[in-house]
């Protein structure tokens, strides 16, 4: 089942989501919801989807960055983004710790802000303590693009979207990003847009 992805302007995207109990996580309803969210993420396509994005104020998100998503991206760009495939993950009630020593900047999009993108600074490394789809505790330590995805999805659970963190001068349509910017390094973008 494909779920409707709500767009910025919906109140649920600006509210802190509710935590789930272990019993709620293990319920048939939540297990079905996780599978529907997974299919919706694939269909979009996207690398993450948080429950608020489908109109539910729950501390639940799904993540997966499939190898085929990067097959047409030049190697130097995937290297700059520190992007590697990420297996399917479910995060529930996450607590994130940012490694503040190093930030990385790159364009970021959102299924709830369709057809737009902007450069967003994010921590290079994070640690996430959460529950998995069985309600079992787990700890994720991630860097690069995986860390970016986790930060983006966990922001959704707190009522934050990437436009709250972006460099405003870099906000543009995905069409123009693809036409003019997709093959540029972040240092070139910084110079051209003037946010150094």
Catalytic residues: 153
β-bridge partners, 8: 10
Question: What is the three-class DSSP state of 152?
Answer: helix
Q: Is the dihedral of CA 120, 8, 41, 152 positive or negative?
A: positive
Which stretches of the chain are assigned E, i.e. beta strand?
Answer: 48-50, 60-65, 86-109, 116-131, 137-143, 172-173
Q: Which residues are within 8 A (CB) of 109 and not within 5 positions of it... i.e. 6 or more apart?
A: 116, 117, 162, 174
For residue 163, which of 14, 3, 2 has the smallest C-alpha distance?
14
């Amino acid at each position: 089942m494909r779920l409707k992805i709500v767009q910025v302007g919906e109140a649920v995207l600006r509210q802190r989501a509710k935590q789930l109990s272990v019993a709620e996580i293990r319920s048939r309803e939540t297990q079905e919801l996780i599978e529907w969210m997974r299919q919706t993420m694939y269909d979009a396509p996207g690398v993450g989807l948080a429950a608020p994005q489908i109109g539910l104020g729950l501390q639940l998100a799904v993540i997966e960055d499939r190898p085929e998503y990067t097959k047409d991206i030049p190697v130097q760009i995937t290297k700059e983004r520190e992007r590697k495939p990420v297996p399917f993950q479910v995060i529930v009630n996450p607590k994130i710790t940012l490694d503040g020593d190093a930030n990385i900047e790159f364009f970021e999009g959102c299924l709830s802000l369709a057809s737009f993108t902007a450069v967003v600074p994010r921590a290079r490394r994070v640690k996430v303590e959460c529950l998995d789809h069985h309600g079992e505790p787990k700890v994720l330590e991630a860097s690069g693009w995986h860390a970016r995805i986790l930060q983006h999805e966990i922001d959704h659970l707190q009522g934050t979207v990437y436009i709250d963190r972006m460099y405003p001068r870099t906000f543009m349509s995905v069409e123009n990003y693809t036409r003019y910017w997709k093959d540029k390094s972040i240092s070139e973008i910084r110079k051209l847009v003037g946010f150094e």
